[in-house]
A and B are shown apart, each in its own frame.
Chain A
């Protein structure tokens, strides 16, 4: 998939380069992009590592588990099937809490467990709400994006956070209302 995307981009780039007479810029880009990539990784790496360290501390201090317990009530309301099924409730809340703290790797196994418990040979309303909460990203600190902004010389990389939070809350709200409506007959 990603191989095809790259091939098509480079193909179009080369053809356009020939048509527009920008072939030399294209050739230059091929050699300068990898070295820019090294600089980018080095500049992003610092803040990325900082956030990874911080998240690890939060995880070990039990913040993720505590937040997951806090979520069980609202989750019970949004995803009714988790009220009776304790395994599903634990998997779903841990998945959402891990995503919230940016622990994508930890979230995946919980997500798979949770969605297989909610799956009933069809997509139930509970499962739809759970999945839409996963496809709308809910992340307190989007560390990669902040690191990217930092590497590109932003005045204050974290000043987009309020905008990110507003958008996340509104889009989740919309998503949940949408699937609750679309799957209203499929309890």
Chain B
């Protein structure tokens, strides 16, 4: 497992050098871009982390998780994950903050932390994507497609839980 990242680095730099690209300049260019991304997500993250933090600190999050418990017992998924899974298709910033909240509350290496991370990494902001790619928002078959996409998100959630339970 630990070989993945070193190999990836060597591979990308190797191909760049082979293709006679200014690898160092390109890398620095990309890092600049990364800094801009950080600045861009900071305001959203600040407000979302604050809102989610207040929600958890007041005890409302635990209450919500308790309410969701019976449903989750049926579906065999940890109830702590469900708020994240419900927000994930709607809002990227919200999902990021909820994921951070779970990692902080339960630890990055806990089962819940891992499921939260895998779920965030293998799903998309479904509604946002559809809004961008289908601007007219309609067309015949839109409802059917939306149903398929959300069903697929639900299946991905159970796959995440299953795969994490097996691997970790």
- CB pair A154–B109 under 8 Å, yes or no, is yes
Residue tally, chain A, CB below 8 Å to B: 91
Give A18 to B30 CA distance when docked, in angstroms.
47
| Shortest beta-carbon distance from B103 to chain A in Å | 4
Q: Which residues of A contact B155 (CB under 8 A)?
A: 171, 174
Contacts of A156 in B (CB 8 A): 1-2
Residue numbers of B with Cβ under 8 A of A are 1-2, 4-5, 8-9, 12-13, 15-16, 18-19, 21, 23, 26-31, 33-35, 37-38, 41-42, 44-60, 63, 87, 90-91, 93-94, 96, 99-100, 103-104, 107-109, 113-114, 117-118, 120-124, 126, 129-130, 132-135, 139-142, 144-145, 148-149, 151-153, 155-156, 159-160, 163-164, 167-168
Q: Apart from A41-B41, A135-B153, what are 19 other A-B pairs with CB-CB below 8 Å?
A: A2-B94, A6-B51, A10-B50, A29-B57, A41-B45, A44-B38, A49-B31, A53-B31, A56-B30, A112-B132, A131-B130, A131-B133, A131-B134, A135-B130, A135-B152, A149-B113, A154-B108, A183-B141, A183-B144
- The answer to whether A13 and B54 touch (CB under 8 A), given A167-B160, A186-B141, is yes
Decide: A141 near B33, CB < 8 A? Known: A62-B19, A160-B118. Answer: no
- Asked if residues A163 and B163 are in contact (CB atoms below 8 Å), the reply is yes
Could you say which of A14, A48, A175 contacts B148, with CB atoms under 8 Å apart? A175
